[in-house]
Chains A and B, each alone.
Chain A
Amino acid sequence: MKPRPFDYVCPDNVDEAVALLAAHGDAARVLAGGQSLMAILNFRLAEPEMLIDVSRLAELDTIREGDGKIEVGASVTQNKFLAWPALATKLPLLAKMLPFVGHFQTRNRGTVCGSIAHADPSSELPLALAMLGGEVVLRSKKGTRVLAAKDFQLDMLTTARESEELITAVRFPVQSEKQVAFREVARRHGDFAIIAIAVVVEEKNKFRLGVGGMTGRPTVRQFNATGDAAIRDAAVALGVELEGLEDMHASAAMRRDLLRNLAPVVVNEALQCAA
């Protein structure tokens, strides 16, 4: 389990990083926290010719607020974001979801953007971005492009990032809703979820439900429903529509049943949050 050879480059700024991507495109991979990429390299599942290490770019290590959005730079670690003092008030859903991302030790190095770039179907951060209607900031020599979450993650481990683009930041709109809940079912603590469900209550009888782990990318839907039975029915319909992934740990039917069982619970949990 030793990586194949590659060139290692540690640019001094974003412009250099972007120039490297322009020159090398697909042959290069961006190394931020390395918590997914390094494991892939150790298994020799990828063969980049070059690693561009952005983990030390100070200009990307910032959490900024502006335009009603919280912008998280590409080298901000998950634990740094979790420790950001305004998280619970400005992004209450993320405050609930971030502790489920990996473990203390992996959050220390794993980045917020890296997890979103990796686009695992059941990981928490892509689901949070989708739920909150966030966006991804991509930079290339041609300029900057901003993609909405739904346009960014296309499928399992697949995104709309062009090979010469660097994800410089993601942006989460400051949340006005305070009633949020999150729950996931995993085999072990800290594992990728079999299913992850997030709920944001928008107004009375109106809520947004996000699901990870059912298909190649997170699904977010709005519902007007009251009462467990109605929510359950809605979840059943959603399950039928999404079908669900099939793997060693869970059948598609089990994922659908989990969605049916848990959707009302998570909605109720959200409703219980003080508005």
Chain B
Amino acid sequence: MRRVNRDQRTRINLTLNGRAVSADTEPRMLLSDFLRHALGATGTHVGCEHGVCGCCTVLIDGTAGRSCLTLAVQVEGRAVRTVESLASADGKLNALQQAFQNNHALQCGFCTPGILMSFTDYLAKNPKPSEAEICEVLSGHLCRCTGYAGIVAAIKEATGSK
């Protein structure tokens, strides 16, 4: 039984984007804060902290979820993947990212990392989604800038249905 008391700081070990990392935290620290401020992975954004906007979406053991509704202590021993992992080391965008640029699927870009991570998970499970399926997954994200059309077009392009 693992127990961390409220005033206690504990070391969390996890794999972040393929690399073993660790940092100290107290039990109530949200994973979103932990990633951004303890691990410096600021690509994951925080837009609501109540699970609605999707900005904070990351992959935990390959599955997309809200990092604002997850505690840092819960990812002990797990693999977390964030938007920083998508492009190659020399900065080359992957196909999904490139499709976003091609289709003007972002403006301020604040919502974008979460959307990319959701679809990184979803497209691994369903590589050829219909437009309705794309919208179904995308409806778990809020974007205030784009009106969504570019995002749908980008995902269609990335999945070869355009």
Contact = CB atoms under 8 A, between A and B. Distances in A.
B90 interface: no
Interface in B1-34: 1-7, 26-28, 30, 33
B68 interface: yes
B27 A8 contact: yes
B63 A2 contact: no
B140 A42 contact: no
A34 B71 CA distance: 9
Given A8-B27, A10-B2, A105-B54, A35 B140 contact: no
A214 to B, nearest CB: 24
B66 A105 contact: yes
Contacts of A189: 136, 139
A108 B125 CA distance: 12
Q: Is the interface of A mostly helix, strand, loop or mixed?
A: loop
Nearest to A13: B1
Contacts of B27: 5-8, 51
Given A43-B50, A105-B57, A9 B3 contact: yes
B118 interface: yes
Contacts of B74: 53, 55
Contact of B6 (A1, A5, A99, A104): A5
A206 interface: no
A173 interface: no
A7 B10 CA distance: 12
Q: Is the interface of B mostly helix, strand, loop or mixed?
A: mixed
Contact of B139 (A31, A41, A190): A190
B122 to A, nearest CB: 6
A103 interface: yes
Given A2-B30, A55-B74, A104 B50 contact: no
Contacts of A102: 140
A7 to B, nearest CB: 5
Most chain B CB atoms below 10 A, which of A8, A16, A34, A190: A8
A5 B4 CA distance: 11
Contacts of B141: 105
B51 interface: yes
Contacts of B39: none
Contacts of A4: 28
A27 interface: no
A6 B136 contact: no
B43 interface: no
A11 interface: yes
A8 B140 CA distance: 28
A39 interface: yes
Contacts of A16: 1
28 contacts: A1-B49, A2-B28, A3-B30, A6-B27, A7-B4, A8-B4, A8-B28, A9-B1, A9-B2, A9-B3, A34-B69, A34-B70, A34-B71, A38-B68, A38-B70, A39-B49, A39-B50, A41-B28, A42-B69, A53-B74, A103-B137, A103-B139, A105-B118, A105-B140, A108-B65, A109-B65, A188-B139, A190-B139
Q: Which 3 A-B pairs have the closest CB atoms?
A: A103-B140, A8-B27, A38-B69
Interface of A: 1-12, 16, 31, 34-35, 38-39, 41-43, 49, 51, 53, 55, 99, 102-106, 108-109, 188-190
Given A8-B3, A103-B137, 5 more contacts: A35-B69, A38-B70, A49-B6, A104-B122, A108-B121
